[in-house]
Structures are given as structure tokens and as C-alpha cells.
Amino acid sequence: MTRQIHRGSILHFPKASLNPSEHYQYWEDGVLVVKHGLIAHLGDAKDFLQAETTPLAQLPIVKHQGLIIPGLIDSHVHYPQVEVIASFGKQLLDWLNTYTFPAEQQFIEAAYARGQADFFLQQLFAHGTTTASVYATVHPQSVTSFFEAAQSHNARMICGKVLMDRNCPAALQDTPDNGYYESKQLIEQWHKNGRQLYAITPRFAPTSSEAQLAKAGQLAKEHPDTFIQTHLSENPNEVQWINELFPDYSDYLAVYEAHDLVREKSLFGHGIHLTDREYIALAASGATINFCPSSNLFLGSGLFNYQRAQANGVSVALASDVGGGTSLSMFANQADAYKVCQLQQTSLSPFDSLYLCTQGAAVAMGIDTQIGNLNVGSEADFVELDMQPTPMLSQRLNKARDLREQLFAINTLGDDRVINATYVAGKQVYKKGQHYVATAV
Ligand SMILES: [Zn+2]
């Protein structure tokens, strides 16, 4: 691939920060140079062009009217649940039985799974998301179909086969041994195959026996650089159920700890109803909580205490949790995160919330040398935002006095309409108004 030069306003967070409002980089007129799918240069446009020896007319410059930011990261989402997004009237445990489990049974067919994977990826790109940590179903072919679809776009994705051996329909059950061997095969086939990464995926403790959790922990030990993804303390009835199913453990997290599932690269969805001990243990382990505000509001699960997590030093990454969540847009989820924090007397800065779905998520997940920022050497996953997407947002942005106000308006009012173009490894995979065509690399 030849060199591409993208010129426009550019914003990103170059490093890990506890105060992203003060640690962002912004160029009103910047350039981002892409070579072989990686970022080869980032900086001020005029400085770059002055130093450039190639005649200006020969430079392959793409001019962007909108704001360039890193590709967004959705750290917890279920691709088989996209078709049950916006389903009425249930809280977590009834939601699973009524909507999720019937939908997931269709993924026994690889062709069905591939169709849904293609649709899901197309939707992610249309919403500006270039990396997601994705739950498949219990069927190994649902993972294969997903990774094949992701590989066809050269997109960096994380996915895993759900492990469930009890408390779910028989059609969705595996066994401790089958789950172990199928996961192991998928790890060997897909983990670090191109840009794909594997996540060992026990759905949550109630749907796995202790024997299965132990096998998941064994896998995690045998493959220490894989991710682990599961759910933790989402709903009060679920926490009560944990107490009944696992009476010997002091709390929910202790069940996972006892089975070697709490470590760096462990991603715990929700973490709403945690004890003091669980916050401290999560921080000490280096694990991450996925803050899923739209899902938590929609399913009536509760309010994630972002301030308390931060005060305890727990890593946090923002997530949609679709289909419990109501939007794949990480902007819509930033808007909901702001409201969840407001209900707890905290105003979440727009820089903080953008950080939580770009560099902050990448740092928490240990992949910030690859994605999450626009640093030289990082993979060229980025998004151009449309700064005039709707009459309402256009007027609001025109009245904004500074970048912070602009960003807050985009976060609060934005959805897929604010995405003008999405690039994966330097290649455009989505452009507003153009019919999407899937192309193999
Ligand atoms: Zn979830």
C-alpha cells in the first residue's frame, strides 16, 4: 500500500492518563500519514508540508472537513443479540430466557452466523467502532464465522465461544470438557491470527458449573495472553442467585478468583453492585470493568459507580452491551454514561468519556501499542466525524466556544449520523451515503 496523507482537524489521547482533559493532543490543521496500514507520521500540517520534499501536487492528500479521532472501541458486545436490540419489558434473567437464548440458538448454522457477523461488522463501522470485544454463542462455528468476517476487513477484533453447561436451554449447553477443547482449538486457530484475538468466554457464573469454571481457568493459565470476558454483578437478583449457587464464596468476584479467571486482560461486564473488597481486588488484579450505561439503564440493572471505581484504581472501559444496550454508537453510550454519572452527582467530562472508548479502553485491555490512539507505529484505525451532521447538532456546534463544548455536544447528541468515514488499517471501510460493499483484503 502506498503512503496516504490525511489532512484535517485531529484529536487523540497519546498515552495513559488519569486526567484525559489535560492530556489530549489536538491539531486544528493536522496530518496523519498512513503507510502499510500503520501510522507513519502525526503532526501539524504546515510543518509536515514544509519538511516534505515531494512536490505538493504529487502528494496523495485526502482532505477531511470533519474531525479525525481514533477508531472507537466497544469493550463488551454480543453480536448474536443485535437482532433482539430494543426488546420490551424484562430485566436481566428474564431477558436472557425470553429474548437472548432463543436468538442464540440460530447460530448453530454457520451460514446464519456469517450473515449476522457481516451485518454486525458493517454496523460497527457505520458507528465508528473499529475494535470490539465480542461474545459469540456456545457454537464454535459462531466464532469461526465472526473471525472470518473480521479477517476479511483486516479489522482488529476480540471474540470467544460462550461457555455454558447449566441453567440455559439444552440446545445452548456444552460440557466442561467440550467447552475446553473447542475453545482451545479456536485459540490455536485464531488468537493472533492476523489482527484477531481470542477471549475465553464463560457467559457468567450462574450458567457454568464449578467444573466448567475450573476448565476456563485452566485455559486462561495455558494461554496467558488471551483475554477473558464474562459478566459480574449486573443485577441485584443475579447477585442473590450467585449467593444461592455458590454459598461457599464471600462474594461474586470470589467465584471467578477461585477459578483463576481474574487477571490482566480479564474483562468484567457491568460491576454495578460490588462490595468494597471486590473493588480492591479488581484494582489489584489489573482486570477491567466494562461500563455499559445504555444497557444498565435499559434493563434497569442499576447505576455503575464510575467515581468509586476510579477512586479505587479499577480500570474501566466503555461498552455498548448490545442487545441489552440500545445503541452500537459509542457516542450514544457516552451520553448515557454522562447521565448515569449525573444521577450520582458527578459530571463526566467529554474528554474522559471519549478516552474510555479510545485510548483508555486500549490501555485497560493492554492493546494500546496497537490501537486506541494515533501514535506513530499504531495501527491506522481512525474515524472522520461529520461536524455538520444534523441541523440541531450543526447549530449547537457553531455556538460552541471551544473544543470541550464541541466534544460534549457531539457526545450528547451524536450517533451513527456523526460518522463521516471509518478507516481500518488505513483502508476506508465505511463512507456516509455510500452503499456498503464488503471487500476481501
Ligand atoms: Zn453482556
320-365 per-position pLDDT tens digit:
999 999 999 999 999 999 999 999 999 999 999 999 999 999 999 9
pLDDT at 440 over 50: no
Q: Looking at the predicted structure, is the pLDDT value of residue 438 above 60? A: no
Tell me, what's the pLDDT at 389?
95
Per residue in 71-117, pLDDT (tens digit) is 999 999 999 999 999 888 888 889 899 999 999 999 999 999 999 99
CA of 45 to the centre of ligand 1 (A): 42
| Ligand 1: centre distance to CA 230 (Å) | 8
Overall pTM > 0.85: yes
User: Is residue 195 predicted with pLDDT exceeding 60?
Assistant: yes
User: Domain extents for the chain?
Assistant: 4-70+374-431, 72-365
Report the share of the chain in percent with pLDDT over 70: 98
* All cell numbers assigned to 293: 450505561
Q: How far is the CA of 167 from the centre of ligand 1 (A)?
A: 17
Cα–ligand 1 centroid distance for 108 (angstroms): 20
| pLDDT at res. 36 | 96
Candidate from 23-37, 151-165, 260-274, 423-437 with smallest mean pLDDT? 423-437
The DSSP bridge pattern shows strands 419-424 and 382-385 to be: antiparallel
Tell me, in angstroms, the distance from the centre of ligand 1 to residue 95's CA: 11
Class of domain 72-365: alpha beta
Say how many Å lie between the CA of residue 104 and the centre of ligand 1: 13
Query: pLDDT of 119-176, one tens digit each?
Result: 999 999 999 999 999 999 999 999 999 999 999 999 999 999 999 999 999 999 999 9
Q: Residue 47 Cα, ligand 1 centroid: separation in angstroms?
A: 46
The residues with which 61 forms a beta bridge, in sequence order, are 5
Q: Please give the pLDDT value at position 437.
A: 52
Listed residue (252, 259, 257) closest to 210, CA to CA: 259
In this predicted structure, what is the pLDDT of residue 1? 54
Using CA atoms in the order 233, 238, 243, 245, what is the torsion angle rounded to 10 degrees? -120
CA distance linking residue 286 with residue 314, whole number of Å: 7
DSSP line for 385-418: EPSS-SHHHHHHHHH--SHHHHHHHHHHH-SGGG
More confident residue, 56 or 408: 408
C-beta atoms surrounding 365 within 10 Å: 25
How far apart are the CA of 253 and the centre of ligand 1, in A?
Answer: 16
Name the fold adopted by 4-70+374-431.
Answer: Urease, subunit C; domain 1 (2.30.40)
Residue for cell digits 519538511?
51
Kindly report the average pLDDT of the chain as a whole number. 96
Residue 54 CA to ligand 1 center (angstroms) comes to 50
Residue 290 CA to ligand 1 center (angstroms) comes to: 9
How far apart (Å, rounded) are the C-alpha atoms in residues 263 and 288? 9
Residue 88's pLDDT is what? 86
**Alpha carbon distance 94, 103 (integer Å):** 14
Beta bridge partners of 318: 291
pLDDT at 436: 60
- Is 226's pLDDT higher than 90? yes
**How many whole angstroms from 228 Cα to the centroid of ligand 1?**
13
Res. 374 pLDDT band, cuts 50 70 90 = very high
pLDDT score of 441: 39
Q: Which residues contact 178 (CB under 8 A, 6 or more apart)?
A: none
Interval between CA 320 and ligand 1 midpoint (Å)? 9
Element (DSSP H or E) covering residue 360: helix 359-365
Query: 45: Cβ–Cβ under 8 A, 6 or more apart, which residues?
Result: 7, 27, 29, 30, 31
